[in-house]
Structure 1
Amino acid sequence: MYLSAKQTVLLGQIMQTLAEPHEELEIREIMGDLVMQLLGAQFYASYVWQPGSLSFARPTQINMDPINLRAYESYYQFHDPITPQMQRYQVAVRATDVLSLEELKKTEFFNDFLNKDGLYWGVNLYAWHQGQNLGDMRIWRDKRRENFSHDELRLLDMLQPAFVTALARAQRPAKTQDLPLNILSQRLTPREQDTARLVMLGMPDKEIARALQISTTTVRTHLENAFRKVGVSNRAALVHKLRA
Protein backbone atom coordinates (compact mmCIF):
# COMPACT_ATOMS: atom_id res chain seq x y z
CA MET A 1 0.00 0.00 0.00
CA TYR A 2 1.44 3.38 -1.03
CA LEU A 3 0.91 6.39 1.26
CA SER A 4 1.67 9.94 0.23
CA ALA A 5 3.60 12.22 2.59
CA LYS A 6 0.33 13.98 3.49
CA GLN A 7 -1.41 10.69 4.25
CA THR A 8 1.49 9.58 6.44
CA VAL A 9 1.24 12.79 8.48
CA LEU A 10 -2.55 12.46 8.74
CA LEU A 11 -2.25 8.85 9.84
CA GLY A 12 0.04 9.94 12.65
CA GLN A 13 -2.40 12.67 13.69
CA ILE A 14 -5.27 10.18 13.72
CA MET A 15 -3.40 7.69 15.88
CA GLN A 16 -2.38 10.44 18.30
CA THR A 17 -5.97 11.63 18.54
CA LEU A 18 -7.22 8.12 19.23
CA ALA A 19 -4.60 7.68 21.95
CA GLU A 20 -5.85 10.75 23.81
CA PRO A 21 -8.77 10.57 26.28
CA HIS A 22 -11.34 12.61 24.36
CA GLU A 23 -15.07 12.51 24.97
CA GLU A 24 -16.97 10.07 22.74
CA LEU A 25 -18.58 12.76 20.56
CA GLU A 26 -15.25 14.58 20.22
CA ILE A 27 -13.62 11.39 18.95
CA ARG A 28 -16.20 10.98 16.22
CA GLU A 29 -16.06 14.68 15.30
CA ILE A 30 -12.25 14.91 15.10
CA MET A 31 -12.01 11.62 13.24
CA GLY A 32 -14.44 12.86 10.63
CA ASP A 33 -12.25 15.78 9.62
CA LEU A 34 -9.02 13.76 9.61
CA VAL A 35 -10.41 10.69 7.81
CA MET A 36 -12.02 12.85 5.12
CA GLN A 37 -8.60 14.38 4.43
CA LEU A 38 -6.91 10.96 4.56
CA LEU A 39 -9.26 9.48 1.95
CA GLY A 40 -9.94 12.58 -0.13
CA ALA A 41 -13.65 12.44 0.71
CA GLN A 42 -16.16 15.28 0.90
CA PHE A 43 -18.91 14.15 3.27
CA TYR A 44 -19.01 12.56 6.69
CA ALA A 45 -21.60 11.45 9.21
CA SER A 46 -21.37 9.41 12.37
CA TYR A 47 -24.03 7.80 14.55
CA VAL A 48 -24.30 5.57 17.59
CA TRP A 49 -26.61 2.54 17.41
CA GLN A 50 -29.41 2.47 20.00
CA PRO A 51 -30.37 -1.19 20.53
CA GLY A 52 -33.45 -0.30 22.59
CA SER A 53 -35.11 1.64 19.76
CA LEU A 54 -33.30 -0.21 16.94
CA SER A 55 -32.21 3.11 15.50
CA PHE A 56 -29.18 5.35 14.97
CA ALA A 57 -28.91 8.51 17.05
CA ARG A 58 -26.44 11.10 18.46
CA PRO A 59 -25.27 12.29 15.03
CA THR A 60 -22.34 14.41 14.00
CA GLN A 61 -21.74 15.47 10.41
CA ILE A 62 -19.49 17.40 8.04
CA ASN A 63 -20.73 19.01 4.79
CA MET A 64 -24.20 17.47 5.08
CA ASP A 65 -27.51 19.28 5.37
CA PRO A 66 -28.77 19.02 8.99
CA ILE A 67 -32.38 19.09 7.77
CA ASN A 68 -31.66 16.18 5.46
CA LEU A 69 -30.04 14.27 8.33
CA ARG A 70 -33.08 14.83 10.53
CA ALA A 71 -35.13 13.28 7.75
CA TYR A 72 -32.75 10.34 7.84
CA GLU A 73 -33.23 9.93 11.59
CA SER A 74 -37.01 10.11 11.41
CA TYR A 75 -37.67 8.20 8.18
CA TYR A 76 -34.90 7.14 5.80
CA GLN A 77 -32.91 5.04 8.25
CA PHE A 78 -35.96 2.80 8.48
CA HIS A 79 -36.08 2.57 4.66
CA ASP A 80 -32.33 2.18 4.15
CA PRO A 81 -31.31 -0.70 1.85
CA ILE A 82 -27.57 -0.58 2.60
CA THR A 83 -26.72 0.49 6.17
CA PRO A 84 -28.28 -2.50 8.00
CA GLN A 85 -26.25 -4.80 5.76
CA MET A 86 -23.07 -2.73 6.17
CA GLN A 87 -23.47 -2.70 9.95
CA ARG A 88 -22.98 -6.47 10.06
CA TYR A 89 -19.38 -6.07 8.96
CA GLN A 90 -16.55 -5.64 11.44
CA VAL A 91 -14.28 -4.27 8.74
CA ALA A 92 -14.58 -1.29 6.41
CA VAL A 93 -17.25 -1.92 3.80
CA ARG A 94 -18.36 0.03 0.72
CA ALA A 95 -21.97 0.66 -0.18
CA THR A 96 -21.33 -1.10 -3.48
CA ASP A 97 -20.15 -4.20 -1.60
CA VAL A 98 -23.68 -4.81 -0.31
CA LEU A 99 -25.76 -3.40 -3.18
CA SER A 100 -24.77 -2.51 -6.73
CA LEU A 101 -24.82 1.16 -7.63
CA GLU A 102 -27.39 0.45 -10.36
CA GLU A 103 -29.78 -1.08 -7.83
CA LEU A 104 -29.12 1.59 -5.21
CA LYS A 105 -29.98 4.35 -7.71
CA LYS A 106 -33.45 2.85 -8.10
CA THR A 107 -34.32 3.39 -4.42
CA GLU A 108 -35.93 6.36 -2.68
CA PHE A 109 -33.05 6.22 -0.19
CA PHE A 110 -30.67 7.23 -2.98
CA ASN A 111 -32.93 9.63 -4.87
CA ASP A 112 -34.56 11.40 -1.93
CA PHE A 113 -31.80 11.24 0.69
CA LEU A 114 -28.28 10.54 -0.61
CA ASN A 115 -28.68 12.51 -3.83
CA LYS A 116 -29.82 15.66 -1.99
CA ASP A 117 -26.34 16.18 -0.58
CA GLY A 118 -24.54 14.69 -3.60
CA LEU A 119 -23.48 11.45 -1.89
CA TYR A 120 -22.52 8.82 -4.46
CA TRP A 121 -19.65 6.56 -3.33
CA GLY A 122 -19.73 5.49 0.31
CA VAL A 123 -17.72 3.49 2.82
CA ASN A 124 -18.67 2.75 6.44
CA LEU A 125 -16.63 1.61 9.41
CA TYR A 126 -18.31 0.36 12.60
CA ALA A 127 -16.74 0.20 16.04
CA TRP A 128 -17.79 -3.12 17.59
CA HIS A 129 -16.72 -3.91 21.16
CA GLN A 130 -17.93 -6.93 23.14
CA GLY A 131 -21.01 -7.20 20.94
CA GLN A 132 -21.87 -3.50 21.28
CA ASN A 133 -21.75 -0.99 18.42
CA LEU A 134 -20.06 2.07 19.99
CA GLY A 135 -20.25 4.30 16.93
CA ASP A 136 -19.48 4.48 13.24
CA MET A 137 -17.88 6.51 10.48
CA ARG A 138 -19.74 7.05 7.20
CA ILE A 139 -17.52 8.59 4.55
CA TRP A 140 -18.79 9.62 1.12
CA ARG A 141 -17.60 11.08 -2.18
CA ASP A 142 -19.62 12.68 -4.96
CA LYS A 143 -20.00 11.16 -8.42
CA ARG A 144 -17.10 13.17 -9.86
CA ARG A 145 -14.72 11.04 -7.79
CA GLU A 146 -13.96 7.31 -7.92
CA ASN A 147 -15.21 4.61 -5.62
CA PHE A 148 -13.04 3.80 -2.59
CA SER A 149 -10.23 1.40 -3.42
CA HIS A 150 -9.28 -1.83 -1.66
CA ASP A 151 -6.16 -0.11 -0.33
CA GLU A 152 -8.33 2.61 1.19
CA LEU A 153 -10.47 -0.05 2.85
CA ARG A 154 -7.32 -1.61 4.29
CA LEU A 155 -6.25 1.81 5.55
CA LEU A 156 -9.54 2.17 7.44
CA ASP A 157 -9.18 -1.36 8.80
CA MET A 158 -5.79 -0.35 10.21
CA LEU A 159 -7.49 2.44 12.16
CA GLN A 160 -10.34 0.34 13.49
CA PRO A 161 -8.67 -1.19 16.59
CA ALA A 162 -7.58 2.25 17.84
CA PHE A 163 -11.00 3.71 17.00
CA VAL A 164 -12.74 0.97 19.00
CA THR A 165 -10.35 1.36 21.93
CA ALA A 166 -10.83 5.14 22.04
CA LEU A 167 -14.64 4.88 22.02
CA ALA A 168 -14.60 2.10 24.63
CA ARG A 169 -12.33 4.20 26.87
CA ALA A 170 -14.71 7.16 26.51
CA GLN A 171 -17.55 5.01 27.89
CA ARG A 172 -15.84 4.79 31.28
CA PRO A 173 -16.60 7.55 33.80
CA ALA A 174 -13.71 10.00 33.93
CA LYS A 175 -12.20 11.36 37.15
CA THR A 176 -12.44 15.14 37.40
CA GLN A 177 -11.26 17.79 39.82
CA ASP A 178 -13.69 18.84 42.56
CA LEU A 179 -13.12 22.55 41.98
CA PRO A 180 -16.62 24.00 41.33
CA LEU A 181 -17.49 26.01 38.27
CA ASN A 182 -20.43 28.35 37.82
CA ILE A 183 -23.38 28.00 35.44
CA LEU A 184 -21.31 29.31 32.50
CA SER A 185 -19.41 26.02 32.53
CA GLN A 186 -22.51 24.26 31.22
CA ARG A 187 -21.56 25.64 27.81
CA LEU A 188 -18.33 23.62 27.89
CA THR A 189 -17.79 19.97 27.08
CA PRO A 190 -16.60 17.77 30.00
CA ARG A 191 -13.04 17.80 28.65
CA GLU A 192 -13.11 21.61 28.30
CA GLN A 193 -14.34 21.81 31.90
CA ASP A 194 -11.45 19.60 33.05
CA THR A 195 -9.01 21.89 31.25
CA ALA A 196 -10.63 25.01 32.72
CA ARG A 197 -10.41 23.59 36.25
CA LEU A 198 -6.70 23.01 35.89
CA VAL A 199 -6.24 26.53 34.51
CA MET A 200 -8.01 27.79 37.65
CA LEU A 201 -5.38 25.96 39.70
CA GLY A 202 -2.70 27.94 37.86
CA MET A 203 -1.30 25.04 35.85
CA PRO A 204 0.49 25.84 32.54
CA ASP A 205 -0.35 24.06 29.31
CA LYS A 206 2.38 21.42 29.60
CA GLU A 207 1.29 20.39 33.11
CA ILE A 208 -2.37 20.28 32.02
CA ALA A 209 -1.38 18.08 29.08
CA ARG A 210 0.42 15.67 31.42
CA ALA A 211 -2.46 15.64 33.92
CA LEU A 212 -5.08 14.93 31.27
CA GLN A 213 -2.78 12.73 29.15
CA ILE A 214 -3.31 14.81 26.02
CA SER A 215 -1.04 16.91 23.81
CA THR A 216 -0.37 20.60 24.47
CA THR A 217 -1.99 21.33 21.10
CA THR A 218 -5.20 19.68 22.32
CA VAL A 219 -5.01 21.69 25.57
CA ARG A 220 -4.85 24.91 23.55
CA THR A 221 -7.76 23.76 21.39
CA HIS A 222 -9.88 23.13 24.49
CA LEU A 223 -8.91 26.53 25.91
CA GLU A 224 -9.72 28.36 22.67
CA ASN A 225 -13.12 26.65 22.60
CA ALA A 226 -13.70 27.63 26.24
CA PHE A 227 -12.70 31.25 25.56
CA ARG A 228 -15.16 31.43 22.67
CA LYS A 229 -18.04 29.79 24.53
CA VAL A 230 -17.63 31.85 27.70
CA GLY A 231 -16.92 35.09 25.81
CA VAL A 232 -13.38 35.92 26.93
CA SER A 233 -9.99 36.26 25.26
CA ASN A 234 -7.47 35.05 27.85
CA ARG A 235 -6.89 32.68 30.77
CA ALA A 236 -7.28 35.30 33.50
CA ALA A 237 -10.66 36.39 32.17
CA LEU A 238 -11.75 32.76 31.87
CA VAL A 239 -10.86 32.06 35.51
CA HIS A 240 -12.67 35.22 36.63
CA LYS A 241 -15.84 34.37 34.74
CA LEU A 242 -15.95 30.77 35.86
CA ARG A 243 -15.41 31.71 39.49
CA ALA A 244 -17.82 34.66 39.53
Structure 2
Amino acid sequence: MYLSASEQHALRSIFALLAEDQSEREIRERTGWALLDLLRADQFASFVWDAESDTFGGRVALNMDPANLDRYTRWHQYHDPITFVLQARRHATRVTEVMPQRDLMRTAFFTDFLSRDGLHWGMNLHAFHGDRALGDLRIWRRRHRGDFSEHDKALLDLIEPAFVGALQRAQRIAPAKTASTAGETAPAWSRLSEREREVAAAVCQGLTDKDIARHMGLGVPTIRTYLRRIFDKLGIDRRAALAGLAGRDRPS
Protein backbone atom coordinates (compact mmCIF):
# COMPACT_ATOMS: atom_id res chain seq x y z
CA MET A 1 0.00 0.00 0.00
CA TYR A 2 1.51 3.30 -1.09
CA LEU A 3 1.21 6.24 1.30
CA SER A 4 1.89 9.80 0.25
CA ALA A 5 4.04 12.00 2.48
CA SER A 6 0.96 13.86 3.71
CA GLU A 7 -0.81 10.59 4.52
CA GLN A 8 2.21 9.31 6.42
CA HIS A 9 2.32 12.53 8.43
CA ALA A 10 -1.43 12.41 9.14
CA LEU A 11 -1.30 8.76 10.21
CA ARG A 12 1.61 9.41 12.56
CA SER A 13 -0.40 12.18 14.19
CA ILE A 14 -3.46 9.93 14.54
CA PHE A 15 -1.48 7.07 16.07
CA ALA A 16 0.17 9.55 18.46
CA LEU A 17 -3.17 10.93 19.65
CA LEU A 18 -4.58 7.41 20.04
CA ALA A 19 -1.62 6.54 22.28
CA GLU A 20 -2.55 9.29 24.76
CA ASP A 21 -4.67 8.72 27.85
CA GLN A 22 -7.98 10.49 27.27
CA SER A 23 -11.72 9.95 27.65
CA GLU A 24 -13.74 7.92 25.16
CA ARG A 25 -15.48 11.05 23.92
CA GLU A 26 -12.16 12.86 23.41
CA ILE A 27 -10.83 9.89 21.44
CA ARG A 28 -13.77 9.91 19.07
CA GLU A 29 -13.82 13.69 18.63
CA ARG A 30 -10.09 14.09 18.06
CA THR A 31 -10.02 11.12 15.70
CA GLY A 32 -12.90 12.70 13.80
CA TRP A 33 -11.05 15.97 13.21
CA ALA A 34 -7.98 14.05 12.07
CA LEU A 35 -9.99 11.88 9.69
CA LEU A 36 -11.59 14.89 8.04
CA ASP A 37 -8.08 16.02 7.13
CA LEU A 38 -6.74 12.59 6.15
CA LEU A 39 -9.72 11.56 4.03
CA ARG A 40 -10.55 14.98 2.55
CA ALA A 41 -14.02 14.72 4.06
CA ASP A 42 -16.54 17.32 5.18
CA GLN A 43 -18.65 15.90 8.03
CA PHE A 44 -18.10 13.42 10.83
CA ALA A 45 -20.30 11.75 13.41
CA SER A 46 -19.70 9.06 16.00
CA PHE A 47 -22.08 7.13 18.23
CA VAL A 48 -21.94 4.20 20.61
CA TRP A 49 -24.48 1.43 20.06
CA ASP A 50 -26.37 0.38 23.21
CA ALA A 51 -27.70 -3.13 22.65
CA GLU A 52 -29.95 -3.00 25.73
CA SER A 53 -31.91 0.04 24.57
CA ASP A 54 -31.42 -0.62 20.84
CA THR A 55 -30.28 2.96 20.32
CA PHE A 56 -27.20 4.93 19.34
CA GLY A 57 -25.98 7.32 22.05
CA GLY A 58 -22.88 9.24 23.07
CA ARG A 59 -23.12 11.53 20.05
CA VAL A 60 -20.05 13.32 18.73
CA ALA A 61 -20.51 15.37 15.55
CA LEU A 62 -18.38 17.74 13.51
CA ASN A 63 -19.69 20.18 10.89
CA MET A 64 -23.27 19.01 11.36
CA ASP A 65 -26.38 20.82 12.56
CA PRO A 66 -27.31 19.78 16.14
CA ALA A 67 -31.01 20.18 15.39
CA ASN A 68 -30.74 17.81 12.45
CA LEU A 69 -28.86 15.32 14.64
CA ASP A 70 -31.61 15.60 17.25
CA ARG A 71 -34.04 14.47 14.55
CA TYR A 72 -31.78 11.47 13.92
CA THR A 73 -31.91 10.59 17.62
CA ARG A 74 -35.69 10.95 17.81
CA TRP A 75 -36.76 9.37 14.53
CA HIS A 76 -34.25 8.66 11.76
CA GLN A 77 -32.13 6.12 13.64
CA TYR A 78 -35.22 3.91 13.78
CA HIS A 79 -35.73 4.24 9.99
CA ASP A 80 -32.07 4.07 8.94
CA PRO A 81 -31.64 1.81 5.87
CA ILE A 82 -27.82 1.65 5.89
CA THR A 83 -26.19 1.88 9.32
CA PHE A 84 -27.07 -1.56 10.65
CA VAL A 85 -25.82 -3.15 7.44
CA LEU A 86 -22.60 -1.16 7.73
CA GLN A 87 -22.32 -2.10 11.40
CA ALA A 88 -22.47 -5.80 10.54
CA ARG A 89 -19.40 -5.47 8.29
CA ARG A 90 -17.03 -4.77 11.24
CA HIS A 91 -14.53 -3.02 8.92
CA ALA A 92 -14.33 0.16 6.86
CA THR A 93 -17.17 0.12 4.32
CA ARG A 94 -18.45 2.66 1.82
CA VAL A 95 -22.17 3.34 1.93
CA THR A 96 -22.36 2.61 -1.80
CA GLU A 97 -21.21 -0.95 -1.08
CA VAL A 98 -24.41 -1.67 0.84
CA MET A 99 -26.83 0.51 -1.14
CA PRO A 100 -26.44 2.09 -4.58
CA GLN A 101 -26.28 5.87 -4.32
CA ARG A 102 -29.27 6.29 -6.62
CA ASP A 103 -31.40 4.10 -4.33
CA LEU A 104 -30.19 5.88 -1.18
CA MET A 105 -31.13 9.25 -2.66
CA ARG A 106 -34.73 8.07 -3.06
CA THR A 107 -35.11 7.33 0.67
CA ALA A 108 -36.59 9.65 3.29
CA PHE A 109 -33.42 9.02 5.29
CA PHE A 110 -31.46 10.84 2.58
CA THR A 111 -33.92 13.60 1.68
CA ASP A 112 -35.04 14.40 5.24
CA PHE A 113 -31.77 13.83 7.10
CA LEU A 114 -28.53 13.34 5.15
CA SER A 115 -29.09 16.00 2.50
CA ARG A 116 -29.98 18.67 5.08
CA ASP A 117 -26.31 18.79 6.11
CA GLY A 118 -24.94 18.08 2.63
CA LEU A 119 -23.97 14.49 3.44
CA HIS A 120 -23.74 12.61 0.14
CA TRP A 121 -20.89 10.06 0.02
CA GLY A 122 -20.35 8.09 3.20
CA MET A 123 -17.99 5.59 4.80
CA ASN A 124 -18.36 3.90 8.20
CA LEU A 125 -16.22 1.91 10.59
CA HIS A 126 -17.90 0.27 13.58
CA ALA A 127 -15.46 -0.79 16.30
CA PHE A 128 -16.22 -3.79 18.49
CA HIS A 129 -14.53 -5.84 21.20
CA GLY A 130 -16.13 -9.23 20.73
CA ASP A 131 -19.85 -8.51 20.65
CA ARG A 132 -19.59 -5.22 22.55
CA ALA A 133 -19.79 -2.03 20.51
CA LEU A 134 -17.10 0.50 21.44
CA GLY A 135 -17.94 3.33 19.06
CA ASP A 136 -18.21 4.10 15.37
CA LEU A 137 -16.69 6.46 12.84
CA ARG A 138 -19.07 7.89 10.24
CA ILE A 139 -17.28 10.01 7.65
CA TRP A 140 -19.09 11.90 4.90
CA ARG A 141 -18.26 14.00 1.87
CA ARG A 142 -20.30 16.52 -0.04
CA ARG A 143 -21.43 15.55 -3.51
CA HIS A 144 -18.75 17.40 -5.48
CA ARG A 145 -15.87 15.54 -3.80
CA GLY A 146 -16.85 12.11 -5.14
CA ASP A 147 -17.10 8.77 -3.39
CA PHE A 148 -14.46 7.30 -1.11
CA SER A 149 -11.96 4.89 -2.67
CA GLU A 150 -10.53 1.48 -1.81
CA HIS A 151 -7.42 3.36 -0.70
CA ASP A 152 -9.52 5.47 1.70
CA LYS A 153 -11.01 2.29 3.14
CA ALA A 154 -7.54 0.83 3.65
CA LEU A 155 -6.43 3.96 5.50
CA LEU A 156 -9.40 3.71 7.86
CA ASP A 157 -8.77 0.01 8.45
CA LEU A 158 -5.15 0.81 9.36
CA ILE A 159 -6.40 3.03 12.17
CA GLU A 160 -8.99 0.59 13.53
CA PRO A 161 -6.76 -1.49 15.89
CA ALA A 162 -5.30 1.64 17.54
CA PHE A 163 -8.79 3.17 17.78
CA VAL A 164 -10.14 0.05 19.50
CA GLY A 165 -7.16 -0.09 21.85
CA ALA A 166 -7.55 3.57 22.83
CA LEU A 167 -11.25 3.12 23.63
CA GLN A 168 -10.59 0.01 25.70
CA ARG A 169 -7.82 1.78 27.61
CA ALA A 170 -10.12 4.75 28.28
CA GLN A 171 -12.73 2.42 29.74
CA ARG A 172 -10.16 0.90 32.10
CA ILE A 173 -8.72 4.25 33.17
CA ALA A 174 -11.98 6.12 33.78
CA PRO A 175 -13.09 4.28 36.97
CA ALA A 176 -9.60 4.45 38.49
CA LYS A 177 -9.28 8.17 37.72
CA THR A 178 -12.69 8.86 39.25
CA ALA A 179 -11.77 7.02 42.42
CA SER A 180 -8.36 8.65 42.78
CA THR A 181 -9.66 12.20 42.32
CA ALA A 182 -12.81 11.95 44.44
CA GLY A 183 -12.98 14.84 46.88
CA GLU A 184 -9.92 16.57 45.43
CA THR A 185 -9.84 20.02 43.85
CA ALA A 186 -6.85 20.23 41.50
CA PRO A 187 -5.17 23.48 40.44
CA ALA A 188 -6.42 24.65 37.07
CA TRP A 189 -3.25 23.83 35.10
CA SER A 190 -3.11 20.28 36.46
CA ARG A 191 -6.54 19.53 34.97
CA LEU A 192 -4.98 19.56 31.52
CA SER A 193 -3.43 16.58 29.77
CA GLU A 194 0.24 16.74 28.81
CA ARG A 195 -0.60 17.67 25.22
CA GLU A 196 -3.12 20.29 26.35
CA ARG A 197 -0.50 21.88 28.62
CA GLU A 198 1.90 21.97 25.66
CA VAL A 199 -0.67 23.77 23.52
CA ALA A 200 -1.58 26.15 26.36
CA ALA A 201 2.08 27.00 26.93
CA ALA A 202 2.50 27.77 23.22
CA VAL A 203 -0.54 30.05 23.32
CA CYS A 204 0.99 31.87 26.29
CA GLN A 205 4.11 32.43 24.17
CA GLY A 206 1.96 34.23 21.60
CA LEU A 207 2.08 31.53 18.90
CA THR A 208 -0.78 31.29 16.40
CA ASP A 209 -2.78 28.10 15.82
CA LYS A 210 -0.86 27.57 12.58
CA ASP A 211 2.50 28.02 14.35
CA ILE A 212 1.51 25.58 17.10
CA ALA A 213 0.29 23.02 14.55
CA ARG A 214 3.56 23.25 12.64
CA HIS A 215 5.65 22.94 15.83
CA MET A 216 3.69 19.93 17.13
CA GLY A 217 3.27 18.21 13.78
CA LEU A 218 -0.53 18.32 13.97
CA GLY A 219 -3.32 19.80 11.88
CA VAL A 220 -4.80 23.20 12.69
CA PRO A 221 -8.27 21.67 13.38
CA THR A 222 -6.66 19.37 15.96
CA ILE A 223 -5.01 22.35 17.69
CA ARG A 224 -8.37 24.15 17.77
CA THR A 225 -9.97 21.06 19.33
CA TYR A 226 -7.28 21.14 22.02
CA LEU A 227 -7.98 24.83 22.64
CA ARG A 228 -11.71 24.24 22.92
CA ARG A 229 -11.11 21.52 25.54
CA ILE A 230 -8.58 23.71 27.39
CA PHE A 231 -11.07 26.58 27.59
CA ASP A 232 -13.82 24.22 28.79
CA LYS A 233 -11.63 22.66 31.48
CA LEU A 234 -10.33 26.00 32.74
CA GLY A 235 -13.65 27.84 32.51
CA ILE A 236 -12.32 30.57 30.23
CA ASP A 237 -13.24 31.77 26.76
CA ARG A 238 -10.20 33.76 25.55
CA ARG A 239 -6.56 33.01 24.85
CA ALA A 240 -5.43 35.96 26.96
CA ALA A 241 -6.94 34.39 30.09
CA LEU A 242 -4.49 31.48 29.82
CA ALA A 243 -1.52 33.61 30.83
CA GLY A 244 -2.92 34.46 34.25
CA LEU A 245 -3.83 30.87 35.03
CA ALA A 246 -0.49 29.59 33.78
CA GLY A 247 1.42 32.03 35.97
CA ARG A 248 -0.59 31.07 39.02
CA ASP A 249 -0.95 27.31 38.65
CA ARG A 250 1.68 25.97 36.28
CA PRO A 251 4.54 24.15 37.99
CA SER A 252 7.89 25.89 37.61
Offset of residue 2 of structure 1:
2.9
The 2-side partners of 1:195 and 1:129 are apart by 35
- Contact 2:46–2:138 (CA under 8 A) maintained in structure 1: yes
- Contact 1:129–1:164 (CA under 8 A) maintained in structure 2: yes
What SS does structure 2 have at the residue aligned with 1:153? helix
Code of the aligned partner of 2:143: K
**Residues 1:229 and 2:235 are matched in the alignment:** yes
1:90 matched to which residue of 2?
90
The 1-side partners of 2:188 and 2:157 are apart by 32
- Trace 1:178-189 onto structure 2 (pairs within 5 A): 180-181=184-185
Code of the aligned partner of 2:141: R
2:154 matched to which residue of 1?
154
1:62 matched to which residue of 2?
62
The 2-side partners of 1:64 and 1:238 are apart by 38
Offset of residue 52 of structure 1:
1.4
Code of the aligned partner of 1:91: H
Deviations 1:4-51 (A, max 9, x none): 222211100100011111100000000010011000000000001111
Code of the aligned partner of 2:84: P
Q: What is the TM-score of this pair, normalised by structure 2?
A: 0.77
Structure 1 runs of 4+ aligned residues shifted over 6 Å read none
The 2-side partners of 1:215 and 1:197 are apart by 10
**Residues 1:130 and 2:130 are matched in the alignment:** yes
The 1-side partners of 2:235 and 2:166 are apart by 26
The 1-side partners of 2:92 and 2:81 are apart by 17
What SS does structure 2 have at the residue aligned with 1:233? helix
Code of the aligned partner of 1:124: N
Q: What is the TM-score of this pair, normalised by structure 1?
A: 0.80
What SS does structure 2 have at the residue aligned with 1:3? coil
Offset of residue 226 of structure 1:
5.4
The 1-side partners of 2:187 and 2:107 are apart by 47
Structure 1 residues not aligned, in runs of 5+: 182-192, 200-207
1:100 matched to which residue of 2?
100
- Contact 1:230–1:238 (CA under 8 A) maintained in structure 2: no
The 1-side partners of 2:102 and 2:35 are apart by 27
The 1-side partners of 2:67 and 2:191 are apart by 38
- Trace 1:106-117 onto structure 2 (pairs within 5 A): 106-117=106-117
- Contact 2:126–2:133 (CA under 8 A) maintained in structure 1: yes
1:203 matched to which residue of 2?
none
What SS does structure 2 have at the residue aligned with 1:87? helix
Offset of residue 227 of structure 1:
6.7
**Residues 1:31 and 2:40 are matched in the alignment:** no
- Trace 1:188-199 onto structure 2 (pairs within 5 A): 196-197=189-190
What SS does structure 1 have at the residue aligned with 2:10? helix
Q: How many residues of Structure 1 are paired with residues of Structure 2 in the alignment? A: 217
What SS does structure 2 have at the residue aligned with 1:144? helix
- Contact 1:195–1:219 (CA under 8 A) maintained in structure 2: no
- Contact 1:43–1:140 (CA under 8 A) maintained in structure 2: yes
- Contact 2:86–2:93 (CA under 8 A) maintained in structure 1: yes
Deviations 1:140-199 (A, max 9, x none): 001101111101101111100000010111111233456722xxxxxxxxxxx6974478
What SS does structure 2 have at the residue aligned with 1:57? strand
What SS does structure 1 have at the residue aligned with 2:143? coil
1:119 matched to which residue of 2?
119
The 2-side partners of 1:151 and 1:236 are apart by 44
1:188 matched to which residue of 2?
none
RMSD, aligned CA: 2.7
The 1-side partners of 2:20 and 2:144 are apart by 36
With over 3 angstroms needed to count, the CA separation of the structure-2 counterparts of 1:226 and 1:196, relative to structure 1, is: farther
Deviations 1:42-90 (A, max 9, x none): 0000001111110101111111111000000100010000001101111
1:169 matched to which residue of 2?
169
1:42 matched to which residue of 2?
42
- Contact 1:118–1:143 (CA under 8 A) maintained in structure 2: yes
